[in-house]
Amino acid sequence: MVEVKTAEELNKKFLREGMWPTIFCNGCGHGVVLEYTFWALEELGWDMDKTMFASGIGCSSRLPGYINADGLHTTHGRAIAFATGIKAADPDFNVIVFTGDGDCAGIGGNHFIHAARRNIDMTVIMINNFIYGMTGGQLAPTAPLGSIATTAPYGNIEHPFDICELAKALGANYVARWPVSHPYQPIKSIKEGLQKKGFSLLEFLAPCPTAYGRRNKLGDIKKHWAWYDDNTILIEDYDKIMKYGSVKEKEEVKDKMQIGVFQDIQKPGFFELYDQLMERLKVEENKKREGKK
Amino acid sequence: MNQVMIDTGNYIAAKAAVMCKPDVVAAYPITPQTTLVEGIANYQGKGEFKGEYICVESEHSAMAACIGASATGVRTFTGTSSHGLLLMHEMLHWAALARLPVVMCNINRVVGPGWNIWTDENDSISQRDTGWIQFYCSSNQEIFDTIIQAFKIGEHQKVSLPVMISYNAFILSHTSMPVYVPDQKEIDAFLPKRKPLWYLDPNNPITFGNIILPAEYEKVRFDMQKSQYYCKKLIPEISKEWKEKFGRFHGDLLEYYKCENVEYILLSMGAIGAESKVAIDNLRKQGLKIGLARVRTFRPFPQEEILKLSKNADLIIIDRNISPGMEGAVFSEIKASLYGKSDAKVYGYIAGLGGKDVTFGDIEKMCKKAIDGKTKHLEWYGLEGV
């Protein structure tokens, strides 16, 4: 196997060159997340013939089309349901879902909830840009309060969805959130998520300069990245301040988005339990038969 | 006084919807519908639209919200397209069986996979049996006029059914045309406030959607059928009233174009219907005796009118849709309408699927081939590489 050292070599190995150019705008975070995913896959040395990608609708959902592997581009919000089917058909496949905030937290919320609850063995990579980018900038359920969108021209008054807290509460095995502006932690988290049996959620805060940035004075990509630095806080730091900090310190961080690894546990996954169930029933059935003899 | 507005089909539809003063609009974005509901939101920003605008989290919820609102007796409107319409499917049945006159624009877009945002009619054709009245428009003016008429038709106490107004993605939704817009007062006079026979009212409690036993349920279906049939009478009356008041007429169940003294009649729907007029002009210049009957209502289907046409002419049908395993939907309905009552020959074409362009030149070729007797019973026009 040729050793990959540069981004160019990485792209050559994983991308479908025939699909270029991509649909992504200048400054979009989707390509960054894709590259982080490729580095993680490369470092793990996964067989791409045993790896399948699924996606729904929206900018994020175009990603499988650019990857040189099997992919299923499905309907709005349903990628996780399709991916559950792939996994059920052959649990040996590695299943990765690319989804967005509208796709996963909006229209497809119910599928997300139940896949996480059942602890289905898959890795969901949700790229959160706070907006429906492809249809022209409608408010997404993850957008911070006050965000301007075509459907919130005077500022968002709907409380945003914290999808990581939700996944954690549902007992997903691995949950992490990183802004794309962090270069190393995402790759490490993707690797951990991919290797984990059971349900993993990786949420990436990624800029959409065209549909979100422009309307929220973050059209300049440097400002957008700086926004992540100013408005996020490591979970460990947040916890420390909330425990030992002053009133002023607490006030400063209380509305920041926490980043880092929210959950890293090892509950058995759905298919593991399913196999155990089948084994148990077989033993019981055999016992009954022997009893009859 | 008439005002002329030059805008795209979607913005024209938004203007028409707002002039009907709906109390609730609930919508979810999907290409190519997005600018329609954006247009309505814009009118709310300007203060012209005074109803409630709800941003929901899916099309299923959009229709559910319209149903809930409509059940309280108010006027509701929404818009969608393609997979959005398919996701609404359960709620479409619900709106119709609950007899709630929700009005909706559906911008005809291809169904996936493969993903494609261009136009064909398979999205709305596959909602045929939901009980909705279905109109197909061929110009922005017709979209405007039909939306206003649709509220009057759907809300008529003998009808009480939801109405879907379909028009082609991009060809109409994103193309600007001049449209005459009447005064608000004139529209108010034409379309009075909705007066439902029953609605949710705390002072007089009723329940929608209760359990219902087989015999009663059958009556519900029969009653729905009666209302659909009543529309065959009502739609021409309302089109006539519109013509008298506003001077414009797009046909009623059918639009007839040069249908006198003909040997052949071409039947098509939507934007192909408009393009067909150019083709008919050209074919007649060549001495061919052919006219056009553009199908405006797919439900109720104009059976009797088409049967009448078939007495003196053979029929050529172009469908921008396909019912796999059978044929084009309009083609099937027409043959069913003629069964045992007409000797006319019928030729069916499938054309323009996936948004492929169908020009007047294409339409002329299809007609000539049929007239020359070279067309098989059903043909796919312009299919390449098979």
pLDDT tens for residues B221-269? 999 999 999 999 999 999 999 999 999 999 999 999 999 999 999 999 9
Q: Is residue B18 part of a domain?
A: yes
CATH code for the domain of B329: 3.40.50.920
Shortest Cα–Cα distance, A77 to chain B (Å): 9
Same domain, residue pair B239 and B265: no
Average pLDDT, stretch A177-185? 96
- Which band of pLDDT confidence, cut at 50, 70 and 90, is reported for residue A164? very high
Number of domains observed in the structure of chain A: 1
Average pLDDT, stretch A151-157? 92
Angle at B255 between CA B251 and CA B257, to 5 degrees: 125
Q: Is residue A166 part of a domain?
A: yes
B80 contact partners, CB below 8 Å, separation of at least 6? B27, B28, B30, B33, B59, B62, B88, B104, B105, B106, B107
Asked if A77 is an interface residue toward chain B (Cβ–Cβ < 8 A), one would say yes
Same domain, residue pair B115 and B197: yes
- State the pLDDT at residue A5: 87
Average pLDDT, stretch A8-32? 94
Same domain, residue pair B213 and B312: no
The mean pLDDT value of chain B amounts to 96
Asked if B46 is an interface residue toward chain A (Cβ–Cβ < 8 A), one would say no
Contact A151 B41 (CB under 8 A): yes
Closest CA to A98 of A57, A136, A137: A57
Q: Is residue A42 part of a domain?
A: yes
Same domain, residue pair B298 and B344: yes
Q: Is residue B288 part of a domain?
A: yes
Shortest Cα–Cα distance, A54 to chain B (Å): 14
Domain coverage including residue B301:
254-380
- pTM as predicted: 0.93
Please give the interface size between A and B, counted as residue pairs whose CB atoms are below 8 Å apart.
Answer: 39
Q: Is residue A18 part of a domain?
A: yes
Asked if B323 is an interface residue toward chain A (Cβ–Cβ < 8 A), one would say no
Q: Is residue A288 part of a domain?
A: no
Average pLDDT, stretch A153-169? 96
Cis peptide before B113 (omega within 30 of 0): yes
For A138, the closest of B29, B58, B115 (CB atoms) is: B29
Contact A134 B115 (CB under 8 A): no
- State the pLDDT at residue A291: 83
Average pLDDT, stretch B5-12? 98
Same domain, residue pair B220 and B296: no
- State the pLDDT at residue A3: 78
Listing DSSP states for B197-229 in one string gives: SS---TTS---SS----HHHHHHHHHHHHHHHH
Last residue of a domain, one of B226, B246, B266: B246
pLDDT digits (tens, 9 = 90+) for A86-126: 999 999 999 999 999 999 999 999 999 999 999 999 999 99
Whole-number CA gyration radius for chain B: 20
A292 pLDDT exceeds 80?
Answer: no
Percent of chain B with pLDDT over 90: 97
Nearest-by-CA chain B residue for A132: B29
B325 contact partners, CB below 8 Å, separation of at least 6? none
pLDDT digits (tens, 9 = 90+) for B141-188: 999 999 999 999 999 999 999 999 999 999 999 999 999 999 999 999
Contact A107 B57 (CB under 8 A): yes
Chain B residues near residue A77 by CB distance under 8 angstroms = 58
Asked if A135 is an interface residue toward chain B (Cβ–Cβ < 8 A), one would say yes
For A139, the closest of B55, B83, B113 (CB atoms) is: B55
Same domain, residue pair B304 and B160: no
Average pLDDT, stretch B342-356? 97
Asked if B178 is an interface residue toward chain A (Cβ–Cβ < 8 A), one would say no
A112 contact partners, CB below 8 Å, separation of at least 6? A80, A104, A105, A124, A163, A166, A167
- Which band of pLDDT confidence, cut at 50, 70 and 90, is reported for residue B220? very high
- State the pLDDT at residue A20: 87
- Phi and psi of B30, rounded to 5°? -155, 135
Same domain, residue pair B209 and B285: no
CATH code for the domain of A115: 3.40.50.970
Buried b (16+ CB within 10 A) or exposed e, B261-279: ebebbbbbbbbbbbbbbeb
Same domain, residue pair B170 and B43: yes
Domain coverage including residue A43:
7-267
- State the pLDDT at residue A130: 97
Same domain, residue pair B16 and B134: yes
Q: Which residue has the tokens 């064909």?
A: B120
A1 pLDDT exceeds 80?
Answer: no
Shortest Cα–Cα distance, B5 to chain A (Å): 23
Asked if B102 is an interface residue toward chain A (Cβ–Cβ < 8 A), one would say no
Buried b (16+ CB within 10 A) or exposed e, B223-259: ebeebbebbbebbbebbeebeeebebebbbbbbebbb
Last residue of a domain, one of B196, B228, B246: B246
In B214-296, the DSSP E strands lie at 254-257, 264-268, 290-295
Shortest Cα–Cα distance, B49 to chain A (Å): 15
Average pLDDT, stretch A57-86? 96
Same domain, residue pair B139 and B184: yes
- State the pLDDT at residue B165: 98
Asked if B87 is an interface residue toward chain A (Cβ–Cβ < 8 A), one would say yes
Q: What is the ipTM of this complex?
A: 0.87
B70 pLDDT exceeds 60?
Answer: yes
Q: Is residue B386 part of a domain?
A: no
Whole-number CA gyration radius for chain A: 21
- Which band of pLDDT confidence, cut at 50, 70 and 90, is reported for residue B49? very high
- Which band of pLDDT confidence, cut at 50, 70 and 90, is reported for residue B386? low
- State the pLDDT at residue B384: 79
B1 pLDDT exceeds 60?
Answer: no
Shortest Cα–Cα distance, A128 to chain B (Å): 16
Number of domains observed in the structure of chain B: 2
Q: Is residue B42 part of a domain?
A: yes
Average pLDDT, stretch B325-329? 97
Element (H, E) at A203: strand A199-205
Contact B29 A132 (CB under 8 A): yes
Last residue of a domain, one of B246, B273, B288: B246
